[in-house]
Amino acid sequence: MVNIQTTSDLIGCIICGAKKTIVSDSRPVFKNNMHYTRRKRECVKCNAAYWTKEVIDHPVRPYEYSKVKRHLIKTVRLNTT
């Protein structure tokens, strides 16, 4: 499923400087203990395609499997009675 949305960038197109772009692909990435999003953008004016990287600036918490297990057990108990 392709999610295409027109946005107005803070920087704009890196080729012509136009403010309107279309996001044609968006991928969450986890690398070096850091979350960020890679987006493929296409300029509406000159049709240039380029990737941007949007960094989330909060620390990553480790996944707590015990919490998930506890909630799954609780859900199964509630739904089987």
pTM over 0.85: no
Question: pLDDT per residue over 5-24, tens digit each?
Answer: 555 556 788 889 888 889 99
Distance of CA 3 to the CA centre of its chain: 12
Cβ–Cβ under 8 Å, residues 50 and 19: no
CATH number of the domain enclosing 53:
2.30.30
**pLDDT, mean of residues 49-63:** 78
Task: State phi, psi for 73 to the nearest 5 degrees.
Answer: -60, -45
Domain that holds residue 24: 5-80
Percent of the chain with pLDDT over 90: 23
Residue 46: per-residue pLDDT:
94
> What three-state secondary structure class fits 69?
helix
Structural domain count, the chain: 1
Residue 10: per-residue pLDDT:
62
Q: Kindly indicate the confidence band of residue 30, based on its pLDDT and cuts at 50, 70 and 90.
A: confident
Give the DSSP letter of residue 4.
Answer: -
